[in-house]
Amino acid sequence: MKWILIILLIGVIMIIAYSLSEQYKEKCNFYSNLKNFLNQFKLNVSFKREKVSEFLKQVNSKKQFKIFIEEYQNYLSKGELNLTRIKALDSEDLPVLEEIVKSIGKLDSKNEITQLDTFLVTVTDRLNKAEADKNKLCPMIIKLSLLFAVGIAILLI
């Protein structure tokens, strides 16, 4: 019975560790999707609000980026924007997204492309930071959690 409880404890600790590391992976995936989205947007869309809505309906996305697309569509139709639903991002990331959402479709095509290039630079920087965090912190969280779980198991034996 004691061994079963120890194995369960180790399992629970490792599940928590994997869920913590998943946040870093989600953030990296989100920025990767956003970068691809902005590149597609830049290449394939004329910058009228009707065209933006049509383009958003064609975007296939998963998880957190799907929430971003839903919020973007909601902003275009109702004027309401709630980016706090995107759990993968920090509060410092939200103003950048808000600026992207509120700016696209407001300028002439030349200025729009310039602005998209600026957004792409910002998103690429954030993607690089997210990838670095993911590559550094995910393995560290897993290893430290495993060490913690084994330490607890040794104390309980």
Most confident of 34-43, 93-102, 144-153: 144-153
Residue 79, token pair as written in the block: 């004027």
Which range has the worst mean pLDDT, 86-90, 103-107, 129-133, 151-155?
103-107
Which range has the worst mean pLDDT, 1-15, 36-50, 67-81, 119-133?
36-50
* pLDDT attached to residue 132: 93
Distance, CA of 156 to CA of 62 (rounded, Å)? 42
Average pLDDT in the chain: 83
* 132, 134, 140, 146 alpha-carbon torsion, rounded to 10°: -170
Q: Residue type for 154, please?
A: I
What is the tens place of the pLDDT at every residue in 50-102?
A: 566 667 766 777 777 888 888 888 887 787 888 888 887 888 888 888 888 87
Distance, CA of 12 to CA of 2 (rounded, Å)? 15
CA torsion sign for 106, 108, 113, 115 is negative
Neighbours of 127 (CB within 10 A): 20
Taking the CA of residue 142 as centre, how many other CA atoms within 13 Å lie in the half-sphere pointing to its CB? 12
Domain of 106 in residue numbering reads as 2-156
What is the tens place of the pLDDT at every residue in 25-34?
A: 888 888 888 8
Q: Between these two residues, 40 and 52, which has the higher pLDDT value?
A: 40
* pLDDT attached to residue 107: 64
CA torsion sign for 13, 17, 20, 25 is negative
Residue 19, token pair as written in the block: 């869920």
